[in-house]
Amino acid sequence: MLEVKGLCKYFGGIRAVDDCTFTAEEGQITALIGPNGAGKTTAFNCVSRTMMPTRGEVWLDGRRIDRLRPHKITGMGLSRTFQISRNLADMTVLENVIAQAQVRGWRDLFRPAMSAAEIDKAMGILDFLGITRIAHEDGSNLSYGQKKLMDLAALLMSDPKIILLDEPAGGVNLSLLEEIIGHIRKLNEAGLTVLIVEHNMDLIMRLSHKVVVMAQGAIIAEGTPEEVRADPAVLDAYLGSTLDEEEAA
């Protein structure tokens, strides 16, 4: 579904993403993990074209997308969330979700801001996520966890084939974490491909079919959750500095 080839993103002399190559298979949940500063979110930004890559290629379902504008990529079936909610100020949850609906052409400019079909579709998504009760709540009044769920609802409004989730569980309580895990699993079981960046290793090990590990901008390991958990290079990337300090002491 998604193929990343030799992806690079440089900021002057800093190689935030350095020659990364990996795939996200259709119908699977692929996790992109690594310590802070590994380049995971920068890679996400380049894949979704919210940031121009320095070099490399990104292919979606057999078509190259790294030269396209973000809205074109969304129209082809790739949508993403961000670490920090980007809800539109002074709009309700329902309005925020409908704002993510695909624009099919210039004729859409002459339609009502929210058509009956869009309202029905958005309410169905909110019902799936269990948050219809906040449909008419101002987006700025939501809790952090509710904003995460609203972002997920908005993501689904564009009928994606693959979704990129950037730390969907970050900062949420354990109860909501279980809800989010359940929603992601149900979406995947319905056929949606998922690429996820997340620091919560329990979530990653429970959900993922494949795990790709980044460190210092490069891919250092790839495999099943069990294989990655036992990989010495991964253990060193996460724990190496701590182990070195203990040995020195």
Name residues of the chain where pLDDT drops below 50.
241-249
* pLDDT score of 242: 42
* pLDDT score of 83: 81
Which amino acid is present at 41?
A: T
In the chain, what is the straight-line distance between the N-terminal and C-terminal CA atoms, in Å? 48
Q: Give the whole-angstrom CA distance, residue 158 versus residue 72.
A: 12
DSSP single-letter state for residue 13: T
* pLDDT score of 188: 95
Phi and psi (nearest 5°) for 15? -100, 85
What six digits make up the tokens of 128?
């799936």
Q: Give the whole-angstrom CA distance, residue 199 versus residue 202.
A: 9
Maximum Cα–Cα distance for the chain, whole Å?
A: 70
Three-state secondary structure string covering 89-136: CCCEHHHHHHCCCCCCCHHHHHCCCCCHHHHHHHHHHHHHCCCHHHCC
DSSP single-letter state for residue 169: T
Average pLDDT over the chain, rounded to whole?
87
* pLDDT score of 144: 85
User: pLDDT digit string (tens) for 138-164?
Assistant: 888 888 888 899 999 999 998 999 999
CB 40 within 8 A of CB 215: no
* pLDDT score of 240: 60
Q: Which residue has the tokens 């993103």?
A: 9
Which amino acid is present at 23?
A: T
Sorted by sequence, the CB contacts under 8 Å of residue 15 that are 6+ apart come out as 8, 9, 217
* pLDDT score of 246: 43
- Name the helix (H) or strand (E) containing 215: strand 210-215
User: pLDDT digit string (tens) for 75-105?
Assistant: 999 999 988 777 777 889 999 898 877 655 5
* pLDDT score of 103: 59
Please give the CATH topology (third level) of the domain spanning 2-86+159-248: Rossmann fold (3.40.50)
